[in-house]
Amino acid sequence: MTWGDEGMKATGTCGECGVPLGIASNLNWNANGTITQKGDPRHRLVFFESDNLDRLWNRLSQILGVTTEHIWEVVIGSKSRATRAFLHRTLPWGVSFLAHFVGYRSMIKTIESQGLVMGYGKITVGGQYPRRGRPERVTVYIEDPYSLPFFCGDFKGAAEVLEKRWAGIDWQALDSRRHQVDVTMREARLEDESFMLREEIAGKPGDMGYELCGTCGTPLDLRQFTWDLEAGIIRDSRSGRRLAFFGTAGMLAVFDELVHELGERVIDAVIEVERENALAALSVEEARSGYQGLRYLAAIRGLGLISSLEMEGDRLTLRMSNPSLPGYIVGLAVAVFELVSGRRGKPAWSIEPDTDLYVEITPA
Ligand SMILES: [Zn+2]
């Protein structure tokens, strides 16, 4: 989302295909299987089932044997780091200029309209204390968040970039759908290091072609999704499932942090949870749609570009360039194997020297 975008403009929709203009003007669907921010190819996103996110955090805490509170802490910390890196790179003017002349209300307006078009839920401004000058505390409300810890991380990171100071975050449920989130500025200033994040441009070219809307330029197949721009909820009109656009850097930062702390078994857990999610979400018809069908399905969601997919006897092999979230993709491949073969699958996978992901699934 471009800073200073008017909410009205971003949440207007294309008269031809119905996709919000905030999506059309900010995101590119690339031929190499990626979705990226216009003008910032390092900021990569996936368009994915979002109910899986909070389920992922819960299942990870069960499988890894750590508390949900701890997983949330890691998620919020890692997500805020990714948000700081992204905003630090893309803010058009000096950050202090924004903080003082544009201010929080405008920042939150931007977050609000971004939330509506990206599927994050309905965000509203609570207020700031003190009312004028440098805020010590800022409050927002979010209704039907796509993932509460991801939202908290985004909001914390945005406040930290604006103030160049660390922030603390608190949240409380107001009812079953609404949450109050407070960010409190701390004294300690951010070091330059705190804006850094390992992010690489997906380097491999590709040949994925989309039929594009003649008016707004997004893939016409996005018509399959419905945007409720009052509630900030995107749904797949076929499956009824909710989706959102979220940055892969934030996800990878969460996984990296957990691996650092708990070891490689974290990735095995991610694969297992994503296998469960995909078994619930994918239809047998989709799983059986073969190379062309799955290649398209993966690319339009920004997961990467499948360059080969073979299922022979009781073995499935898959190669993908520019893989977004390797653990997710391996879990998806296991689910495809299981839906097609009717047998439990066991994955082996590697990132090849040319950065491709190679996956092999055999019966467990
Ligand atoms: Zn359009």
Ligand 1 geometric centre to CA of 282 (Å): 27
163 in the same domain as 281 = no
For residue 138, being part of any structural domain is answered with yes
Secondary structure letter of residue 176 according to DSSP: S
In whole angstroms, give the CA distance from residue 232 to residue 286.
27
Ligand 1 geometric centre to CA of 225 (Å): 12
Write out pLDDT tens, residues 326-338.
999 999 999 999 9
Average pLDDT over every residue of 86-108: 63
**Does the structure show a pLDDT above 60 at 98?**
no
In whole angstroms, give the CA distance from residue 190 to residue 208.
41
Average pLDDT over every residue of 242-266: 93
Gyration radius of the chain over CA positions: 20
| H helix intervals, the chain | 7-10, 21-24, 51-64, 68-90, 95-97, 103-118, 148-163, 248-262, 265-281, 284-287, 290-300, 326-341
75 in the same domain as 183 = yes
64 in the same domain as 173 = yes
For residue 225, being part of any structural domain is answered with no
289 in the same domain as 179 = no
**Does the structure show a pLDDT above 50 at 3?**
no
156 neighbors 166 (Cβ within 8 angstroms): no
* Confidence at residue 41, expressed as pLDDT on a 0 to 100 scale: 85
Which of 193, 214, 230 represents a domain boundary (last residue)? 193
CATH code for position 268: 3.30.1380.20
Ligand 1 geometric centre to CA of 17 (Å): 4
**Does the structure show a pLDDT above 70 at 288?**
yes
153 in the same domain as 73 = yes
* Confidence at residue 101, expressed as pLDDT on a 0 to 100 scale: 55
For residue 244, being part of any structural domain is answered with no
* Confidence at residue 92, expressed as pLDDT on a 0 to 100 scale: 56
For residue 97, being part of any structural domain is answered with yes
Ligand 1 geometric centre to CA of 222 (Å): 9
C-beta pairs of 171-174 under 8 Å, 24+ apart in sequence: 174/141
Q: Which residue from 357, 315, 352 is spatially nearest to 336, judged by alpha carbons?
A: 315
* Confidence at residue 209, expressed as pLDDT on a 0 to 100 scale: 93
27 neighbors 225 (Cβ within 8 angstroms): no
Ligand 1 geometric centre to CA of 210 (Å): 13
* Confidence at residue 5, expressed as pLDDT on a 0 to 100 scale: 45
Give the burial string for 242-274 (b: 16+ CB within 10 Å, else e).
bbbbbbbbbbbbbbebbeeeeeeebbebbbbbb
Ligand 1 geometric centre to CA of 199 (Å): 30
Average pLDDT, the chain: 89
Across the strands, what pairs with 170?
182
Which of 164, 193, 222 represents a domain boundary (last residue)? 193
Query: What predicted TM-score, i.e. pTM, was given to this entire model?
Result: 0.91
174 in the same domain as 70 = yes
Ligand 1 geometric centre to CA of 5 (Å): 19
Tokens of 6: 């008017």
* Confidence at residue 184, expressed as pLDDT on a 0 to 100 scale: 95
Number of domains in the chain: 2
Instruction: Provide the terminal-to-terminal Cα distance of the chain, rounded to the nearest Å.
Output: 44
* CA-to-CA separations, 337 to 281, 299, 309, in angstroms, rounded: 14, 19, 11
Domain ranges, residue 104 = 7-26+38-193
Task: Indicate the residue type of 276.
Answer: E
| DSSP conformation letters of 1-38 | --TT--HHHHT-B-TTT--BHHHHTTEEE-TTS-EEET
354 in the same domain as 268 = yes
Ligand 1 geometric centre to CA of 15 (Å): 7
Average pLDDT over every residue of 192-218: 85
pLDDT, greater one: 345 or 162? 345
For residue 201, being part of any structural domain is answered with no
Instruction: Using CB atoms within 10 Å of the CB of residue 347, give its burial: 0 to 12 exposed, 13 to 18 middle, 19+ buried.
Output: buried
Ligand 1 geometric centre to CA of 235 (Å): 17
Ligand 1 geometric centre to CA of 214 (Å): 7
Give the burial string for 334-346 (b: 16+ CB within 10 Å, else e).
bbbbbbebeeebe
* Confidence at residue 277, expressed as pLDDT on a 0 to 100 scale: 92
272 in the same domain as 177 = no
Least confident of 16-25, 30-39, 90-99, 146-155: 90-99
186 in the same domain as 62 = yes
Ligand 1 geometric centre to CA of 16 (Å): 5
Write out pLDDT tens, residues 292-341.
999 999 999 999 999 999 998 899 999 999 999 999 999 999 999 999 99
**Does the structure show a pLDDT above 80 at 279?**
yes
Ligand 1 geometric centre to CA of 226 (Å): 13
Ligand 1 geometric centre to CA of 71 (Å): 39
- φ/ψ of 113, rounded to 5, equals -75, -35
pLDDT confidence band for 7 (50 / 70 / 90): very low
pLDDT confidence band for 8 (50 / 70 / 90): very low
In whole angstroms, give the CA distance from residue 72 to residue 152.
10
In whole angstroms, give the CA distance from residue 362 to residue 73.
36
Ligand 1 geometric centre to CA of 266 (Å): 40
339 neighbors 282 (Cβ within 8 angstroms): yes
* Confidence at residue 6, expressed as pLDDT on a 0 to 100 scale: 44
pLDDT confidence band for 2 (50 / 70 / 90): very low
**Does the structure show a pLDDT above 80 at 111?**
no
184 in the same domain as 61 = yes
* Confidence at residue 10, expressed as pLDDT on a 0 to 100 scale: 73
88 neighbors 161 (Cβ within 8 angstroms): yes
Q: Which residue from 117, 118, 91 is spatially nearest to 10, judged by alpha carbons?
A: 117
Write out pLDDT tens, residues 43-79.
899 999 998 898 999 999 999 999 999 999 999 999 9
Ligand 1 geometric centre to CA of 215 (Å): 5
Ligand 1 geometric centre to CA of 300 (Å): 15
Q: Give me the percent of the chain exceeding a pLDDT of 70.
A: 92
Ligand 1 geometric centre to CA of 88 (Å): 30
For residue 297, being part of any structural domain is answered with yes
For residue 207, being part of any structural domain is answered with no
Secondary structure letter of residue 237 according to DSSP: T
356 neighbors 329 (Cβ within 8 angstroms): no
* Confidence at residue 127, expressed as pLDDT on a 0 to 100 scale: 82
Average pLDDT over every residue of 126-131: 83
Ligand 1 geometric centre to CA of 101 (Å): 34
In whole angstroms, give the CA distance from residue 86 to residue 97.
18
Q: Any idea what the Cα angle at residue 75 is, between residues 24 and 256, rounded to 5°?
A: 95
Task: Indicate the residue type of 69.
Answer: E
Which of 163, 193, 223 represents a domain boundary (last residue)? 193
Ligand 1 geometric centre to CA of 213 (Å): 5
For residue 329, being part of any structural domain is answered with yes
**Does the structure show a pLDDT above 90 at 225?**
yes
Q: Is 236 helix (H, G, I), strand (E, B) or coil?
A: strand
Q: Give me the percent of the chain exceeding a pLDDT of 90.
A: 67
